[in-house]
């Protein structure tokens, strides 16, 4: 039998959940297995993320077209990879990174690179006749010589949206709930869904808007984090769950969006904080509410502040680094060395290849940092992050509210996989 090889690579300009163009790529192998991968896109993007290439041609899609990225796949990337062994994912990704040649993927674009890296991963799973998570898990175990069985992650569900994800005044971007102590993904998701619906009732009773933001959570016209937290606590209570034991609240402050080089500007509550004051504010919230996790409590450049925040809250609270780490092993290493944060947010398009995502997860785990696989605020029907979270045993996933198909598709994928393959649940 002839050796399996990449036969055809093509790309398409499609749309994400915000109606912005994004890249999709199809990889077809010599045994005719094929798969399409779609690339997500952020709104609160960090400075240190790999770059997505956009056309910047104002005559198309307000400058947001991705035809350049699509052409790069159809020409350069196709030429580079056609004929190669798709099962050697690490080789495929190394070639993509080398051909790009920059630290932030600005030549070929993280959107072109990720589309192909992920489509190759998916097509290879097809060829091996394995569920995607199983294929990912086998690569991961082989690469890092670890013995980790696929595990379903605990969901963190963003039920109330603020910041740049919503047209309201709430400063913090995400108010999430995380069920705790449940014995299956299914039952933990059910808990989150019931609270989501009760939150809608609470909003209606107060004549507040129940339309949703970019990640499917409600986006009422509130001002402060406290108002949002009180409403969520109320929703948990009427749902019959116990906040602080069965359900915890997780925040993504997305503080890089609030920082103006000197101060954290919290316009909703008309306050401006220096780093020490922002830390104190977070400590106060932490002491008043059952908050188990705070993401990007401080700006991506505020390393000194992060150090203090970790000293103060790190032993009791999960402190997740998103913009500060950018799924980049060099930045995660720096954080580990300086004792900054205790958890890493893993966004596949922040770094650009699946192999680099695996390296980031492995590095974090080796240093006892928790990992949270994450969607972007601009998503698609692609559910690969569900399989990535399971295959890499990330322990946690954030994929938005149980609302809007771009979010629910990931939860549905995990519900089906749990039942079909009896995968154990992280607890």
Indicate which residues carry an active-site annotation. 215, 347
Q: Where are the beta strands (DSSP E) in 16-149?
A: 21-29, 34-38
Which part of the chain contacts ligand PGA (CB under 6 A), choosing from 36-44, 142-150, 193-201, 327-335? 36-44
Instruction: Decide if residue 252 touches ligand PGA (CB under 6 A).
Output: yes
CB atoms within 10 A of CB 187: 12
Binding residue for ligand PGA, selected from 14, 15, 43, 233, defined by CB under 6 A: 43
Instruction: Decide if residue 44 touches ligand PGA (CB under 6 A).
Output: yes
> CB of 49: closest distance to ligand PGA in angstroms?
8
Q: What torsion, rounded to 10 degrees, do the Cα atoms 308, 311, 316, 319 define?
A: 50
Closest CA to 75 of 32, 11, 17, 138: 11
What is the bridge-based pairing of β-strands 174-179 and 154-161? antiparallel
From residue 310 to residue 339, what is the string marking binding to ligand PGA with x (rule CB under 6 A)? ------------x-----------------
| Number of alpha carbons in the 13 Å side-chain half-sphere of residue 115 | 33
> CB of 51: closest distance to Zn ion in angstroms?
18
Q: Which is nearer to Zn ion, 86 or 297 (CB)?
A: 297
Bridge partners of residue 330, in order along the sequence: none
> CB of 46: closest distance to Zn ion in angstroms?
8
With CB under 5 to 8 Å by kind, the binding choice for 376 among ligand PGA, Zn ion, none is ligand PGA
- With contact defined as beta carbons under 8 Å apart, do 84 and 95 qualify? yes
Rounded distance, CA 231 to CA 48, Å?
A: 34
Which part of the chain contacts ligand PGA (CB under 6 A), choosing from 3-11, 43-51, 334-342, 382-390? 43-51
Which part of the chain contacts ligand PGA (CB under 6 A), choosing from 201-209, 330-338, 373-381, 400-408? 373-381
> CB of 99: closest distance to ligand PGA in angstroms?
26
Q: Where are the beta strands (DSSP E) in 42-196?
A: 154-161, 174-179
Instruction: Decide if residue 42 touches ligand PGA (CB under 6 A).
Output: yes
Q: What is the residue whose two structure tokens read 């056309």? A: 55
> CB of 242: closest distance to ligand PGA in angstroms?
27
SS3 call for 366: helix
Q: Which is it for the CA torsion 400, 401, 405, 409, positive or negative?
A: positive
Instruction: Decide if residue 374 touches ligand PGA (CB under 6 A).
Output: yes
Q: Which residues bind Zn ion (CB under 5 A)?
A: 252, 295, 322
Applying CB under 6 A, the residues found at the interface with ligand PGA are 42-45, 252, 254, 322, 374, 376-377
């Amino acid at each position: 039998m002839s050796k399996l090889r990449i036969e055809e690579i093509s790309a398409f300009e499609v749309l994400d959940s915000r109606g912005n163009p994004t890249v999709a790529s199809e990889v077809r192998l010599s045994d005719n297995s094929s798969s399409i991968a779609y690339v997500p896109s952020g709104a609160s993007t960090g400075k240190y993320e790999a770059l997505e290439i956009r056309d910047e041609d104002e005559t198309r899609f307000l400058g947001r077209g991705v035809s350049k990225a699509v052409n790069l796949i159809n020409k350069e990337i196709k030429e580079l990879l056609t004929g190669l062994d798709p099962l050697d994912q690490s080789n495929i990704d190394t070639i993509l990174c080398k051909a790009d040649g920059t630290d932030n993927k600005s030549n070929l674009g993280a959107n072109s690179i990720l589309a192909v890296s992920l489509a190759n991963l998916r097509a290879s799973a097809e060829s091996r006749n394995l569920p995607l998570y199983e294929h990912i898990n086998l690569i991961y175990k082989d690469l890092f010589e670890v013995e980790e069985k696929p595990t379903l992650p605990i969901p963190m569900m963003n039920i109330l949206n603020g910041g740049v994800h919503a047209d309201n005044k709430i400063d913090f971007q995400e108010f999430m709930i995380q069920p705790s102590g449940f014995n299956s993904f299914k039952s933990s998701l059910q808990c989150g869904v019931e609270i989501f619906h009760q939150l809608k009732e609470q909003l209606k009773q107060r004549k507040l808007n129940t339309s949703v933001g970019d990640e499917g959570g409600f986006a009422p016209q509130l001002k402060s984090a406290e108002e949002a937290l009180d409403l969520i606590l109320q929703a948990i209570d009427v749902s019959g769950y116990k906040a602080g034991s069965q359900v915890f609240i997780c925040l993504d402050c997305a503080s890089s969006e609030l920082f103006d080089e000197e101060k954290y500007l919290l316009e909703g509550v008309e306050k401006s904080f220096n780093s020490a004051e922002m830390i104190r504010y977070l400590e106060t919230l932490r002491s008043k509410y059952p908050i188990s996790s705070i993401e990007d409590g401080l700006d991506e450049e505020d390393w000194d502040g992060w150090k203090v925040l970790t000293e103060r809250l790190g032993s009791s609270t999960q402190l997740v680094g998103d913009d500060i780490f950018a799924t980049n092993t060099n930045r995660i290493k720096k954080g580990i060395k300086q004792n900054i944060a205790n958890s890493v947010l893993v966004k596949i398009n922040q770094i650009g290849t699946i192999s680099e995502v695996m390296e980031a997860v492995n590095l974090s785990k080796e240093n006892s940092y928790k990992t949270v696989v994450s969607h972007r605020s601009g998503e698609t029907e692609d559910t690969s992050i569900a399989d990535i979270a399971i295959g890499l045993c990330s322990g946690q996933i954030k994929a938005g509210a149980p609302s809007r198909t771009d979010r629910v598709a990931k939860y549905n994928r995990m519900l089906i996989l749990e039942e079909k393959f009896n995968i154990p649940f992280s607890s």
